[in-house]
Structure 1
Amino acid sequence: MRQPGLCSAAAVFLFASLPATVHAQQSDVLEDFRDESLQFQRPDVLSVQERPQPAFDPVPYRDAGIEIMPSIKVDSLYNSNIFAERDARDDLIIRIRPKVAASTQFGNFNIATAAEVDHRQYLSTDSQSTTDYILGLRGRFDIDREGQIYAGTRNGQRTEDRTDPASPLNVQEPVQYRFASGFVGAARSFNRLRVAGRVGIERRDYEDGRDGLDLPVDQDFRNRTILTSDLAAEFAINPDISVFVNGSVNQRDYKAQPLFSPSRDSKGYEITAGTSFQLSSLVRSEIGIGYFEQDFEDARFEDVEGFAARAKLEYFVTPLVTLTARANRGVEESSTLGSGAFVATSFSLTADYELLRNLIISASGGYERNKFQDIDRRYTIASAKMSAEWRLSPRYALHAQYDFRDQEASGTFPGREFSRHRFLAGITIAGM
């Protein structure tokens, strides 16, 4: 039986930042610290992806109270449309991701750190090759069994995917940006009531690009500092049902703007409330609905407001099959000149099947609609994915994946429209 006040408030924050993130990734130092600082205890029932596999899980190196987990992923990837355009151009990509993570605990302190490099080598179109990196550090202090304090930081460089709705349309090479972030958070239980809060800051600096005529494409107008504050509370009515409320406020400050363009600075908030429930051992759900608003400093950008939703429903068909449905609606920043933001609405359904103890097969489908403010542009995106992970031993695992994305554009300024197929196969080597 579940204990009171478990995980729904954390799940709502998780959906707000990464709707597609799976639970198994929450403990990763390099994942979003917004998840980490508000992560609560999991329910008794675990999905196929959450369930540990002691016979096949990687084994870290341990010495003097320190655990070190080295790993490397090597993938070969075929992309049928590397530029995400109507006139498709394909390529074969080799992707190599070495990573090392370490953690230790002394007294009431837990410290974890990780570093990862991500290199994509395009075999026919070398100009698209990129190298990213990320460094992370996180600490947790357990005040007692009912209270924790968190702090962390992440720094690195990322490459923006050309399929991202915020990605510019007219650059020869994918846009890269550097980022630095930090946060502090705390969580406390009071019998049936669980309260958690977090304050964070992130700074991004984008590199300029070049268009088809080799002229500069300014990206400095996207450089920004984002301040966020989150507060969540959950009350357990009984061991299987709880209600929650959470709120988030943000402030976005941009360093520079193109000449004669309006300021992109804005302030906003989102508040949602809902329920988390578990029906026997078959259904687990977190559903939150509410309202969001983003107000721009310059009146030439239209303020955005509307209905907010964060929902997740898991159906445990059998111990070997898990169905997961997700829904999300909120406001996102736009990098398009003349548009301050867009409203994103998405739905997805995923099926995970443990065919063998060491072989998990997954299939998913999704639908997304993005409506831009200030300009007449709408994106309708349909996606599908199939994947398999075969753990040969604690040290070695094979994986394969196929995914499809079809993006249709409409409006006076329709933007990017394309279809893309990707096939991936690779190996992961981890642990000692």
Structure 2
Amino acid sequence: MRSGSVRASVTKPLTAVSLIALAAFWALPVQAQSIKSQDKADPRRANSAKILQEQNPQEKTDGKDDEKQIDDSYQPKGIELGSFLLLPQVEVSEGYNNNIYARAKDKKSDFITRITPEFQLRSRFTNHMLNVTARAEQSLFATYKDDNHLDASTSVAGRYDFSREWEATGSLDAYQTYEDRGSPDAVNGKSPTRTYGFGGRTGTKYQVGRYTFQSELNGARRLFGDVDTSTGTTIDNSDRNRNEFGAMGRGSYELFPGYAAVTQVEVNRRQYDSSRDRAGFNRSSSGWRAETGIGVDITQLVRGDFLVGYMKQDYEDSRFKDPSGLALKSVLNWTPNRMTVVALSLERSVQETITTNASGMIHTGASLLIRHEMQRNIILTGTASAFQDDFKGANQTNWTYDARARAVYALQPELYVGGEVGFRRRTSDKPDVGFSQGVALLRIGARM
């Protein structure tokens, strides 16, 4: 996830409601996705049906979960803990990056060792669901050791079933990560920028006849660490610290089996700690988006949303140009056969940025993922994406292209190996912002 990305939040009057909802959330078991029967069938996965496992192709470029896509006969048994199943694993990878600082000139290459321990605790209740995941990733650079860093995250997700028609869902998460050197907001410090925070969401889904109603409240606290420069000065990133709140309502009506008319409305509030950023702008804002379209659910063949509408983000600083216009949010999951899944996504949204004179960044992205089960213990994955970042008010537009190919081979349920090659390129109408970057890595992992 990009650190500045928010999909749904709340206007000021709704902020207090969001905080109350997040506090009350502790009383409810929670969940990220509501696929009840699959959770019971296979507690190792949030969703066991292949067609449901790639809802966001743009978030699958790193391959962190590829080993979990291998056939069940090559999945570990885990450690039984009463009504829970504990699934620990550790992975070590050795990679090469030919442009670690994502620069147009003076490129630096390096080898990077990553050590990644992880555990998942999956419930096996007859009803309801409660899952816990924790993950850490230590990155060690062979030459440019100032870029050594530790990413870590933990999340709790679950579902409470009031009845077959009514459920409550939600999640809590905390994270520490370091901003990608190729991020549009990278400040080019001596080391990458540390970003950390926590958040949560809670929602409900109710179905009656052909109607389905969903709602959600969410909130997040996002923080950014200071970084030193090669000249001995310090870059103060405190003006990026903020709270984000949101709400979403969605209704659908099944026109006939497999097809539904969908309407979705989202509102947001992005409140910065500082009344002025380093350039003297007030970046706090409120926004909304409304979309309508078609939802498709044809057994295990095709599932997806095709929504189009309007969005607008209002910034408190009158000098800013408020982003608005076409809103898109579409995801297609197609399973042409039991061995292959194809996932396509398209989205247009307003994201945060610290680019001087830019209010927000209109991000338009398209991505494609194709995963094929070559054998029960061999998974091949290819991803490709292209997206445009339009910095409103800054007369800057970036295009970024990314392509990756990966393979994972399970030697046995407890041991797997993998490899990846990838290429990323950015072009921009602003000098020295574009770059090209190639990566390659080998992975080996052990699990129980």
TM-score (norm 2): 0.82
- Structure 1 residue 383: Cα displacement: 1.5
Local SS of the residue matching 1:55 = helix
Match of 1:163 among 174, 182, 187: 182
Match of 2:190 among 159, 172, 182: 172
The number of residues matched between the two structures is 398
Local SS of the residue matching 2:282 = coil
The question of whether the paired residues in 2 share the 8 Å contact of 1:37 and 1:198 is answered with: no
Deviates more, 1:217-226 or 1:45-54: 45-54
Return the alpha-carbon distance in structure 2 between the equivalents of residues 99 and 85 of structure 1: 32
Code of the aligned partner of 2:226: D
Code of the aligned partner of 1:217: I
Q: Which residue of 1 aligns with 2:437?
A: 420
1:192 correspondence with 2:232? no
Cα 1:232–1:430 change in 2 (3 A) is farther
Code of the aligned partner of 2:281: P
Return the alpha-carbon distance in structure 2 between the equivalents of residues 300 and 237 of structure 1: 46
Aligned CA-pair RMSD:
2.6
Q: Which residue of 1 aligns with 2:323?
A: 304
The question of whether the paired residues in 2 share the 8 Å contact of 1:48 and 1:321 is answered with: no
Return the alpha-carbon distance in structure 1 between the equivalents of residues 133 and 303 of structure 2: 32
Return the alpha-carbon distance in structure 2 between the equivalents of residues 406 and 259 of structure 1: 29
Cα 1:345–1:428 change in 2 (3 A) is same
Return the alpha-carbon distance in structure 1 between the equivalents of residues 236 and 419 of structure 2: 38
Code of the aligned partner of 1:113: V
Give CA deviations for 1:13-47 in whole Å, capped at 9, x if unaligned. x9958xxxxxxxxxxxxxxxxx9556457899744
Q: Which residue of 1 aligns with 2:393?
A: 374
1:182 correspondence with 2:162? no
Match of 2:165 among 122, 125, 146: 146
Cα 1:72–1:374 change in 2 (3 A) is same
- Structure 1 residue 111: Cα displacement: 2.4
Gaps of 5+ in 1: 1-13, 18-34
1:115 correspondence with 2:161? no
1:219 correspondence with 2:219? no
Q: Which residue of 2 aligns with 1:3?
A: none
Q: Which residue of 1 aligns with 2:413?
A: 394
The question of whether the paired residues in 1 share the 8 Å contact of 2:115 and 2:138 is answered with: yes
Gaps of 5+ in 2: 9-29, 39-46, 55-68
Matches within 5 A, 1:245-256: 245-256=263-274
Cα 1:49–1:392 change in 2 (3 A) is farther
Give CA deviations for 1:203-231 in whole Å, capped at 9, x if unaligned. 11111112331211121110000001111
- Structure 1 residue 187: Cα displacement: 1.2
Local SS of the residue matching 1:316 = strand
Cα 1:46–1:315 change in 2 (3 A) is same
The question of whether the paired residues in 2 share the 8 Å contact of 1:351 and 1:362 is answered with: yes
Matches within 5 A, 1:80-159: 80-86=98-104, 87-104=106-123, 108-159=127-178
The question of whether the paired residues in 1 share the 8 Å contact of 2:85 and 2:124 is answered with: no
Q: Which residue of 2 aligns with 1:32?
A: none
1:345 correspondence with 2:364? yes
The question of whether the paired residues in 2 share the 8 Å contact of 1:301 and 1:339 is answered with: yes
Give CA deviations for 1:360-408 in whole Å, capped at 9, x if unaligned. 2122322111110121111111221111111222212212111100101
Deviates more, 1:153-162 or 1:310-319: 310-319
Return the alpha-carbon distance in structure 1 between the equivalents of residues 130 and 299 of structure 2: 36
The percentage of aligned residue pairs carrying the same residue is 22
TM-score (norm 1): 0.85
Code of the aligned partner of 1:188: Y
Q: Which residue of 1 aligns with 2:220?
A: 202
The question of whether the paired residues in 2 share the 8 Å contact of 1:398 and 1:428 is answered with: yes
Q: Which residue of 1 aligns with 2:20?
A: none
1:274 correspondence with 2:293? yes
Return the alpha-carbon distance in structure 2 between the equivalents of residues 102 and 321 of structure 1: 28
- Structure 1 residue 282: Cα displacement: 5.3
Cα 1:325–1:66 change in 2 (3 A) is closer
The question of whether the paired residues in 1 share the 8 Å contact of 2:239 and 2:278 is answered with: no
Code of the aligned partner of 2:247: S
Code of the aligned partner of 1:430: R
Cα 1:151–1:368 change in 2 (3 A) is closer
- Structure 1 residue 279: Cα displacement: 6.3
Match of 1:261 among 255, 280, 290: 280
